Structure 1
Amino acid sequence: MLNILGAVVSGLIVGALARWFYPGTVDLGWVQTILLGIGGSLLADLVITRGRGGFNRAGCLSSLLGALALIFLGRWLLG
């Protein structure tokens, strides 16, 4: 239970930082911000480990970069 709570809190922090650092407005609600941060962490871990082994927690900076990449890809794909 604490692991899930930690993922939600870190997802909120990373997602909020990614929204703040991204140029322009990013219209997301609280739940979407949390999912953005968690997704950024998973994307960063996947890139770092290149798919080998299970998921581990990525570092804060790499999670932030992963979340920024997700914002960029979402805007690029949705036009």
Structure 2
Amino acid sequence: MELIISLIAGALGGNLAGGVMKNLSLGTLGNSLVGILGGGLGSTILSALLGGAAPDAAAAAGGMDVGAIISSVASGGVGGGVLLAIIGVIRNAMGK
């Protein structure tokens, strides 16, 4: 469930970043796809850094706590925005 939340947040983060940085935008579909990828990567990286291999009691019981949801939204949104910025800069550099 956390991965799905991260992917959705990544799509939103990618579109938000594309809206704020118009020169790096890849269009709605491109922003969404890059955001989804970035959301998944961001969530995976954050989970590895914070020791996601040891789930807490709520996750082990099949439930999710508020902290896990907020962490998934934050890591997915930031990951989607960052990856969009990176790919946008690379695309602009190759176009010159």
Looking at secondary structure, tell me which structure has more helix per residue. Answer: 2
- RMSD of aligned alpha carbons: 3.2
Instruction: Work out the number of aligned pairs and report it.
Output: 70
Q: Which runs of 4+ in 1 moved over 4 A?
A: none
Q: Which runs of 5+ in 1 are unaligned?
A: none
TM-score if structure 2 supplies the norm length?
0.49
| Cα distance in 2 for residues equivalent to 1:69 and 1:41 | 9
In the TM superposition, residue 12 of structure 1 has moved relative to its aligned partner by 4.1
Q: Which runs of 5+ in 2 are unaligned?
A: 54-68
Structure with the larger RCO, 1 or 2 (CA within 8 Å, 6+ apart): 2
Q: What letter matches 2:79 in structure 1?
A: G
Structure possessing the higher radius of gyration over alpha carbons: 2
Is 1:34 matched up with 2:47?
no
Which residue matches 1:18? Answer: 17
TM-score if structure 1 supplies the norm length?
0.56
